[in-house]
Structure 1
């Protein structure tokens, strides 16, 4: 029976690459995706007409998340894995220029949407002895100038994986940092947030990564997330935060 996987933020970047990895020939999987932009979702549906379905909606809207879960369960009777990928970086601001409301808005996307989706999907994941796979960040364990909101939200994501692992005997969870990936977020760092909100020495790391062609292609971390969704989370990594290239993921 096909693995049923829910993925958030599938319209571009890592999320889009995750769908492509999950639906490669030979993988017996179906994917239910959600994003706000419908055109990329239509393109995915045209590419994978029999194995991809979608909901156009905001992950902060519980009704959209409920529809995503409902549609998958109605057709397939189960959910095997959830990959919580959607996230935002804005606001980028230092502690001398804090906007608490902007932090709350970011947390709604990066953290509370995950809690909301988990609250809806957990009964179905539990029945399937499924996996909750959370896209984290190296910023969750290291400070980057101006990234306080983003880093704090990803640290909360790591802790949520620990919480699920400790409190559920039937659902495994893991938080995986994808590395520095060539996505729109990196463009925004170099062209928008960096020049306006980061000192030159902090921005230089990211401009150098691009200049030296050292950014990862989205397919690299996407393959890790897809493999975890299809194969399951190893017992030794349940509740753990790891980087995409951690040796413990190689098996």
Structure 2
């Protein structure tokens, strides 16, 4: 039987890294993202539907188009997300915060609900979280709020759904386009975490997406030993 994985945000960053890693191991990868995945990933085992996860009403139909012939998913990675601007919460417009919450939180609720209402057998759903969900670093405003809420979302579903395992997983630092943005944040004295991120780039502490995906997959056995609904950081799991 074919091995299947669903990944959101497969067009770039960690999502593309996860897709490549699973494709290399013979999986069928089912991906949702606004943009097409990189050309190097396209082939018979990559199945993709474009959708804007900020438009929640379009998600169920897109998911149905993508998974209409699928009966089982071994893994689901709720990876798609947006950062928003690094700035103090008092300076963050409410509309920006709503957008961040829509993509990072509510889109995942819609996706989970659609999956649970389907006839697809699902083993494990992993919400890609962040250390920002728990560390409260200055400047991360809507991103921190949305990832903290995502952690609770996964915990609540775990309490309700005993047949599916749910986890929130912080993947650690990853060298993605987000790091390009970090180099443009002007006030690193005010936002000290930005300085730490800049210094980690081009070191082993900030792998590229494919390597980061490998580190995540190496830790999955340890993750599954945790209680369903748990939050974990890949840097604290033994791969």
- List aligned pairs for 1:139-158, cutoff 5 A: 139-158=132-151
User: Is 76-85 or 52-61 further displaced after alignment?
Assistant: 76-85
Distance in 1 (CA, whole Å) between partners of 2:209 and 2:202 is 17
Structure 1 residue 91: deviation in Å?
Answer: 3.0
* 1:124–1:225 Cα change, 3 Å: farther
**Structure 1 residues 76-105: Cα deviation after superposition (integer angstroms, max 9, x where no partner):** 333333211111111322133131111001
TM-score w.r.t. the length of structure 2 is: 0.88
How many residue pairs align between the two structures?
A: 239
Give yes or no for the alignment of 1:179 onto 2:177.
Answer: no
Q: Is the 8 A contact 2:157 2:166 kept in 1?
A: yes
Aligned to 1:30: 28
Structure 2 counterpart of 1:236? 226
**After the TM superposition, which residues 114-153 of structure 1 pair with which residues of structure 2 at under 5 Å, given as runs?**
114-124=108-118, 128-153=121-146
Equivalence for 1:208:
199
CA distance in 1, matches of 2:3, 2:62: 16
State the TM-score, normalizing by the size of structure 1: 0.84
Describe the SS at the equivalent of 2:84. coil
Matched residue, 2:104: 110
Q: Identify unmatched segments of 5+ residues in structure 1.
A: none
Residue of structure 1 in register with 2:86 after alignment: 92
Residue 44 of structure 1 corresponds to which residue in structure 2?
41
CA RMSD of aligned residues (A): 2.6
